[in-house]
């Protein structure tokens, strides 16, 4: 008989909050999936606990369950034997006081999906015995000392920007701080800052649009449609740049400023621009017009650097 065929179908389980997803988690999942036929990753969430962890953190905004789920899905996209499930832990005593209720809820999810685990993977030695007791399957401990990738989600929550290299690629856009430089020579300072911070600069769609129109020899006054086109192009470029941005992203203008230009031209608000303003909140807008005329270029440069640095605590 074929030895491979005789082997039992191995089904692995991994539990986590992935708050946020980091390279240590990914290492655990990759090492586990290399030992089983299918792997089920259970993403645990609980509203009050998650909110408290956020409030005690230095994360700039709270990742919600859907964000955490998307990070896992994106990271393991196309990996057909890795399945992600959300487990709402509401009403269960917090770890480590609710093992019975918690494991019952896990089992009910698994039953619905017709999943029978054969092995649980964890890097937490203190959980091995309870996993064995409540799930009745093998437990494999992986890198309990976190020697291969020495990071924890707690450390990242405390200092996301200092621990940037460990944040999963899929989760980084969530943490990128968006900074707009408006007023004055808008293509100079953001380029300098992007160079210094080794990151992306999203060039000014408005300027490109005007140049394009000039080349076409058409009239230059912007219509309402022009504004929307500029805004949509800008949003698309920002989305693309966020994927590879290093902690911060520089651009000009932000959508509130663009909307203000629109309002002064057309004396009313625009629903699309309002939507973009809400969808792309900026962490910092540096208005060069606020600097005093007599301020030297170097003083402006230094003030801008201080403001940017303060964003990356
Ligand atoms: N209520 C209860 O009694 C009870 C009992 C057990 C589990 N739970 C739930 O299970 C989930 C457990 O989540 P967590 O806090 O362990 O999640 P986590 O997101 O911090 O970690 C997920 C997994 O990755 C491992 N890991 C973390 N850093 C690593 C690194 N650098 N290298 C290798 N592996 C690494 C962890 O050991 C864990 O196995 C929670 O939702 C918790 O509520 C609850």
CB 179 within 8 A of CB 311: yes
Share of the chain above pLDDT 90, in %: 80
Interface confidence: ipTM more than 0.95: yes
95 C-alpha to ligand 1 centroid (Å): 10
Residue-wise pLDDT tens digits, 126-184? 999 999 999 999 999 999 999 999 999 999 999 999 999 999 999 999 999 999 998 87
Nearest CA to ligand 1 atom 43: 95
Q: Which atom of ligand 1 is the closest one to the Cα of 148?
A: 32
75 vs 84: CA distance, rounded Å: 11
Angle at Cα 241 formed by Cα 237 and Cα 243, nearest 5°? 130
The CB-side HSE value for 61 (13 A sphere, CA atoms) comes to 16
* CA 13 centroid distance within chain: 24
Query: Are 3-166 and 176-311 equal in CATH topology?
Result: yes
Residue 96: is the preceding peptide bond cis (ω within 30°)?
yes
* For the chain, the helix, strand and coil percentages under 3-state DSSP, each to the nearest 5: 50, 15, 35
> pLDDT class for 43, splitting at 50, 70, 90?
very high
Q: Is 138 in the pocket of ligand 1 (CB under 6 A)?
A: no
Residue-wise pLDDT tens digits, 159-168? 999 999 999 9
Angle at Cα 260 formed by Cα 254 and Cα 265, nearest 5°? 130
127 C-alpha to ligand 1 centroid (Å): 9
Domain ranges of the chain: 3-166, 176-311
Alpha helices in the chain (DSSP H): 3-6, 23-33, 47-55, 65-75, 99-112, 128-135, 153-158, 172-175, 189-196, 205-215, 224-244, 255-266, 271-279, 297-311
User: Is the model more confident about 188 or about 307?
Assistant: 307
CB 71 within 8 A of CB 20: yes
Q: Give the pair of three-digit tokens for residue 255.
A: 């959508």
Nearest CA to ligand 1 atom 13: 16
163 C-alpha to ligand 1 centroid (Å): 19
Q: Give the pair of three-digit tokens for residue 266.
A: 């057309």
Q: Is 96 in the pocket of ligand 1 (CB under 6 A)?
A: yes
CB 32 within 8 A of CB 81: no
162 C-alpha to ligand 1 centroid (Å): 22
Phi first, then psi, for residue 9 (nearest 5°) are -65, 120
The CATH classification number of 3-166 equals: 3.40.50.620
What average pLDDT does the segment 3-32 reach? 91
Q: Is 27 in the pocket of ligand 1 (CB under 6 A)?
A: yes
Nearest CA to ligand 1 atom 36: 123
The CATH classification number of 176-311 equals: 3.40.50.300
152 C-alpha to ligand 1 centroid (Å): 10
- The pLDDT of residue 60 is above 60: yes
């Amino acid at each position: 008989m074929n030895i491979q065929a005789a082997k039992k179908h191995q089904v692995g389980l991994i539990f986590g909050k992935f708050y946020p997803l980091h390279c240590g988690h990914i290492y655990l999942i990759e090492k586990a999936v290399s030992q089983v036929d299918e792997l089920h990753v259970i993403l645990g969430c609980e509203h009050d606990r998650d909110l408290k962890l956020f409030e005690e953190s230095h994360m700039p905004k709270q990742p919600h369950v859907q964000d955490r789920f998307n990070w896992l899905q994106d990271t393991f996209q196309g990996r057909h034997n890795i399945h992600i499930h959300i487990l709402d832990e509401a009403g269960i005593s917090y770890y480590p006081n609710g093992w019975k209720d918690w494991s019952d809820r896990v089992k009910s999810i698994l039953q619905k999906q017709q999943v029978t685990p054969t092995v649980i993977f964890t890097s937490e030695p203190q959980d091995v015995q309870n996993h064995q007791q409540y799930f009745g399957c093998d437990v494999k401990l992986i890198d309990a000392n976190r020697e291969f990738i020495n990071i924890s989600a707690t450390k990242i929550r405390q200092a996301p920007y200092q621990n940037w290299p460990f944040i999963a690629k899929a989760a980084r856009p969530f943490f990128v701080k968006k900074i707009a430089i408006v007023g004055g020579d808008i293509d100079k300072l953001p380029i300098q800052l992007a160079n210094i911070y080794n990151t992306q600069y999203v060039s000014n769609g408005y300027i490109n649009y005007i140049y394009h129109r000039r080349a076409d020899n058409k009239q230059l006054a912007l219509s309402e449609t022009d504004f929307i086109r500029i805004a949509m192009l800008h949003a698309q470029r920002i989305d693309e740049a966020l994927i590879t941005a290093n902690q911060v992203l520089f651009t000009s203008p932000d959508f509130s400023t663009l909307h203000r230009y629109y309002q002064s031209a057309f004396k009313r608000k625009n629903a699309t621009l309002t939507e973009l303003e809400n969808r792309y909140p900026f962490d910092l807008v540096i208005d060069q017009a606020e600097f005093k005329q007599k301020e030297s270029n170097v003083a402006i440069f230094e003030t801008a650097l201080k403001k940017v640095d303060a964003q990356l605590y």
